[in-house]
């Protein structure tokens, strides 16, 4: 009986996390659609960081541990660098992200 409660609780948490992720996406989209667009960087930072945390928590609830997610993220960054990702080509964002993740860039 206790095992079925854990499964139900886990499913409930997964649904909550999915809803929170969608809410953060909606808030960001609404803000970006606002013609006034005050505090865009702050709103973006807040919502995007929420989405990242939620993605990690959702992955954990789905049976993917944090280190596995980190390895996949690192691999995706490396592949983007190797394959000449368009954002990297024009802006160098993946190189910067790679340096930041390896500890070369300090600050927040």
66-98 pLDDT per residue, tens: 999 999 999 999 999 999 889 999 999 999 999
Residue with tokens 């049976």: 63
What is the C-alpha to C-alpha distance for residues 94 and 87, in angstroms, rounded to an integer? 8
Q: Give pLDDT, residue 65.
A: 96
The gap between the terminal CA atoms of the chain, to the nearest Å, is: 47
Query: What pTM did the predictor assign?
Result: 0.84
d(CA 96, CA 108): 13
pLDDT of 105 strictly over 90? no
Query: What are the helix (H) ranges across the chain?
Result: 2-33, 40-61, 66-82, 86-91, 93-101
Over residues 6-53, the pLDDT tens digits come to 999 999 999 999 999 999 999 999 999 987 767 888 999 999 999 999
């Amino acid at each position: 009986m206790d095992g079925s409660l854990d499964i139900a609780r886990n499913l409930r948490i997964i649904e909550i996390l999915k809803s929170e992720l969608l809410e953060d996406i909606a808030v960001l989209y609404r803000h970006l659609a606002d013609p006034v667009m005050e505090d865009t960087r702050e709103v973006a930072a807040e919502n995007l960081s929420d989405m990242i945390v939620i993605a990690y928590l959702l992955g954990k609830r789905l049976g993917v541990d944090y280190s596995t997610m980190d390895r996949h993220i690192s691999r995706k960054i490396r592949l983007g660098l190797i394959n000449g990702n368009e954002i990297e080509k024009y802006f160098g964002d993946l190189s910067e992200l790679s340096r930041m993740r390896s500890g070369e860039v300090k600050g927040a």
